[in-house]
Structure 1
Amino acid sequence: MKKTIAAIALGAGGIMLIACTPSVNVNVNLAPIYAKLDVNVKVQLDQDVKALIQQNPDLF
């Protein structure tokens, strides 16, 4: 009898915990971010290539 009451209490407690589980809903509206990164990359690569050619003139 005690096992049955304990099982019922445990089951009821489990149901109460599931019913009281908090939920969080987050709506994120992201605005698109545009950046012109290719210009910096091209300039940096051009400078790097010039430096490598100066260091190794027989490279090409």
Structure 2
Amino acid sequence: MTPPSNRTVRLGLLALAVAGGLGACTPTIRLEVAPIQIYAKLDADVRVRLDQELQNLLAENPNLF
């Protein structure tokens, strides 16, 4: 087996340098999501209104379900 020529060694070193350079220049993407706080207050009046609307809907459409 013959040793590699100088040109082959140089091309190999060049390929390693290019690969190392490209690997060092890889962009980094960071995604940060801030926590979302939701404050909800359910009022009993809203529930009563929804119940009343549902009763009216069922009364108007008895075959709905």
Given the two structures, how large is their TM-score scaled by the length of structure 1?
0.50
1:34 Cα offset (Å)? 7.8
Task: State the alpha-carbon separation in 1 of the partners of residues 38 and 10 from structure 2.
Answer: 60
Compare the two structures and name the one with the higher helix fraction.
1
Task: State the alpha-carbon separation in 1 of the partners of residues 32 and 17 from structure 2.
Answer: 34
Q: Which residue of 1 aligns with 2:28?
A: 23
> In the TM superposition, what whole-angstrom CA distance separates every residue of 1:23-59 from its partner, at most 9, and x where no partner exists?
0111111315588xxxxxxxxxxxxxxxxxxxxxxxx
Task: State the alpha-carbon separation in 1 of the partners of residues 20 and 35 from structure 2.
Answer: 37
Greater CA radius of gyration, 1 or 2? 2
Task: State the alpha-carbon separation in 2 of the partners of residues 17 and 30 from structure 1.
Answer: 35
Q: Percent identity?
A: 29
> For this pair of structures, how many residues does the alignment match?
55
1:11 aligns with 2:20: no
Given the two structures, how large is their TM-score scaled by the length of structure 2?
0.47
Q: Which runs of 5+ in 1 are unaligned?
A: 36-60
Task: State the alpha-carbon separation in 2 of the partners of residues 20 and 34 from structure 1.
Answer: 44
Task: State the alpha-carbon separation in 2 of the partners of residues 33 and 22 from structure 1.
Answer: 35
Task: Detail structure 1 runs of 4+ shifted over 2 Å in the superposition.
Answer: 32-35
